[in-house]
């Protein structure tokens, strides 16, 4: 008998992985640490998903432009999920950061230098600064207040871009944007394969960073704020600081998505700041699910494919059919929608 009593297991001050907990005494993983380790572990289907995404421009080169667009809106949806799904901050004006990033990247390429990676970094930094300033508006009030304030922010930027037509091109859009080769090696081609691989690479890098963030102790505090803000304050979580931080990060990621759109299309217009952008990305999260980064990816894939197919079949009424599908999704439920035999039964408790 050594007389020593085992101490209480502690989290490592600097986690070795995304949400990874340090093994307990003797190198053994305790029962309470296993769920954290399992969440941080990659599943086999994730490797298949990303490998398939990067292979698609080679397998189906004619659909490279669609793949590029899906990658961009998926990144945009994941940025909204950071504040909505993980922190509980509702927003109807997330397009403000998307559009600001698009104009920042386009203007940088036109007026300063056409290097896409440098332009992307500049757009991310500027959108992060805008997000930090705008985060002050979401610290107080109810969800309805935040909906109106975020919507108002997007509308202000939309009108500002419209009035500054000498800089942004106004209603005609910012034209004459010519991008240089990626890393000085890969020229943008007409088929969109370089654009697709460029966007997918940026999306993967930012996804890895967001995954590590949400599965870390910092991410756990965000979920505590989402579930009960007053209780999170009571246990010592700096709620205001966490909200400002995650809102700034989400704005930077949304700005990266907007910058990718401007760089791969060579064009930026008022459409990037329109309310439709904010509404569409919210619908993607409704389809794919919130509080799960892959929900934004799944929602973007389903939404864009449905939009492309329905607009080709019924060009005038495609929005009606998407609306009908969303109504069914809300009434029936995402899981039950895939099993029609359960539609008319009782919902599980």
pLDDT at res. 340: 59
Residue 94: partners with Cβ closer than 8 Å, 6 or more residues away: 76, 79, 80, 83, 150, 154, 250, 254, 277, 278, 281, 282
Q: What is the b/e burial string over 152-161, where b = at least 16 CB atoms within 10 angstroms of the residue's CB?
A: ebbbebbeeb
Burial call 33-64: b when 16+ CB within 10 Å, e when fewer: beebeeebeeeeeeeeeeeebeebbeeeeebb
Q: 3-class DSSP state for residue 173?
A: coil
194 pLDDT above the threshold of 90: no
User: SS3 of 268, please?
Assistant: strand
Is the pLDDT at 182 greater than 90? The verdict is no
User: What pLDDT score does 341 carry?
Assistant: 59
Q: Which of 274, 290, 134, 263 is nearest to 199 (CA)?
A: 263
Q: pTM score, two decimals?
A: 0.83
What does the pLDDT look like over 126-158, one tens digit per residue?
999 999 999 988 888 788 888 898 898 899 999
Q: What is the pLDDT of residue 16?
A: 40
12 pLDDT exceeds 60?
A: no
**What integer best gives the mean pLDDT of the chain?**
82
Q: What is the SS3 assignment for 28? A: coil
Question: What pLDDT does residue 64 have?
Answer: 85
**What percentage of the chain exceeds 70 in pLDDT?**
84
pLDDT(66) > 70: yes
pLDDT digits (tens, 9 = 90+) for 277-294: 888 898 888 888 888 888
> How many C-beta atoms surround the C-beta of residue 223 within 10 A?
15
Model pLDDT, residue 253: 95
Better-predicted residue by pLDDT, 267 or 252: 252
Inter-residue contact 74 to 261 (CB < 8 Å): no
What residues contact 30, with CB distance under 8 A and at least 6 apart?
9, 23, 24
- Would the pLDDT of 333 be above 80? no
**pLDDT of 273 over the 50 cut:** yes
Three-state DSSP at 60 gives coil
Q: Tell me if 77 sits within 8 A of 288, measured CB to CB.
A: yes
pLDDT of residue 337: 61
Ranges 174-178, 203-207, 218-222, most confident: 203-207
Looking at residues 78-84, what average pLDDT do you find?
92
In this structure, is the dihedral angle defined by the CA atoms of residues 277, 278, 281 and 283, taken in order, positive or negative?
negative
Burial 72-99 (b: 16+ CB within 10 A, else e): bbbbbbbbbbbbbbbbbbbbbbbbbbbb
Q: Is the four-CA dihedral 292, 293, 297, 299 of positive or negative sign?
A: positive
Average pLDDT over residues 56-84: 90
- What are the tokens at 156? 């202000």
- Which band of pLDDT confidence, cut at 50, 70 and 90, is reported for residue 347? low
Q: What is the pLDDT, as a whole number, of residue 8? A: 42
pLDDT, position 35: 61
């Amino acid at each position: 008998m050594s007389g020593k009593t085992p101490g209480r297991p502690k989290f490592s001050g600097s986690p070795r992985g995304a949400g990874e907990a340090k093994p307990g005494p003797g190198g053994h993983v305790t029962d309470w640490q296993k769920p954290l380790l399992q969440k941080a572990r990659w599943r086999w289907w994730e490797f298949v998903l990303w490998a398939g995404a990067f292979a698609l421009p080679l397998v189906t080169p004619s659909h490279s432009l669609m793949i590029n667009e899906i990658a961009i809106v998926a990144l945009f949806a994941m940025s909204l999920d950071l504040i909505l799904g993980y922190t509980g901050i509702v927003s109807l004006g997330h397009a403000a950061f998307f559009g600001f990033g698009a104009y920042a990247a386009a203007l940088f390429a036109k007026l300063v230098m056409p290097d896409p990676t440098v332009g992307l970094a500049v757009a991310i930094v500027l959108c992060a600064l805008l997000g930090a300033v705008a985060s002050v508006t979401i610290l107080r009030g109810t969800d309805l207040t935040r909906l109106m304030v975020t919507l108002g922010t997007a509308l202000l930027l939309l009108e500002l871009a419209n009035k500054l037509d000498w800089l942004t091109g106004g209603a005609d859009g910012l034209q004459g944007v010519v991008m240089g080769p990626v890393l000085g090696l890969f020229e943008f081609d007409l088929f969109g394969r370089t654009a697709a691989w460029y966007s997918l690479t940026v999306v993967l890098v930012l996804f890895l960073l967001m995954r590590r963030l949400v599965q870390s102790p910092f991410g756990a505090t965000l979920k505590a704020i989402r579930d009960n803000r007053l209780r999170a304050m009571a246990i010592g979580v700096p709620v205001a600081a966490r909200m400002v931080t995650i809102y700034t990060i989400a704005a930077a990621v949304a700005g990266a998505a907007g910058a990718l759109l401007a760089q791969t299309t060579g064009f930026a217009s008022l459409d990037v700041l329109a309310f439709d952008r904010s509404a569409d990305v919210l619908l993607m999260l409704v389809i794919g699910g919130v509080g799960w980064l892959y929900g934004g990816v799944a929602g973007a894939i389903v939404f864009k494919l449905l939009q492309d197919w329905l607009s080709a079949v019924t060009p005038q009424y495609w929005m009606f059919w998407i609306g009908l599908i969303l109504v069914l999704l809300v009434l029936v439920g995402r899981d039950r929608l895939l099993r029609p035999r359960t539609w008319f039964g009782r919902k599980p408790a």
